[in-house]
Amino acid sequence: MISFTMGLVVFGLCATYFILTRKRKKEKIKGVIFSLMLATAVGGVIQFNFNRDIKKWNNGICTNCNGTYEFTTATKSYKSYRSYYYTCEDCGKTIETMHLMEKN
């Protein structure tokens, strides 16, 4: 859902920019099409990262030993990227995700 929302925000901002700053109708249409392609790409990248995290998370079950993952720590880089680390209680395997995961 967040990927759709972010894509919609990007589309709205870009399309508004192109509509307000271009004089000819053909340029406005090209701008809206470009905005739609950019929004689709942004939403796709966000959705890809989220799906990858879900696969790693495996509903909190370790793929090596079937133990459970517990939250270990979180870090924030200088570019504001957050990473969340989970460690298996049984075998010690650690995974890194970009999203805070919850058990279902």
Residue with tokens 């894509």: 7
Residue 104 lies in a domain: no
Q: Which domain holds residue 16?
A: 2-97
- What kind and span of H or E run contains 70? strand 69-76
pTM, full prediction = 0.67
Residue 82 lies in a domain: yes
Residue 37 lies in a domain: yes
Residue 102 lies in a domain: no
Residue 12 lies in a domain: yes
- Of 33 and 7, which is predicted with more confidence? 33
Residue 51 lies in a domain: yes
- Position 87 scores a pLDDT of 95
- Position 26 scores a pLDDT of 83
Q: In the structure encoding, which two tokens stand for residue 52, read together?
A: 């990858």
Averaged pLDDT for residues 46-72: 90
Give the up-direction half-sphere exposure of residue 97: CA atoms within 13 A in the CB hemisphere. 22
Residue 35 lies in a domain: yes
Tens digits of per-residue pLDDT, 79-97?
A: 778 889 999 999 999 999 9
* Distance separating alpha carbons of residues 95 and 86, to the nearest angstrom: 5
How many domains does the chain divide into? 1
Tens digits of per-residue pLDDT, 21-40?
A: 777 888 878 777 887 888 88
- pLDDT confidence tier of residue 71, bands split at 50, 70 and 90: very high
Question: CB–CB of 66/87 below 8 Å?
Answer: no
Residue 73 lies in a domain: yes
* Distance separating alpha carbons of residues 29 and 79, to the nearest angstrom: 34
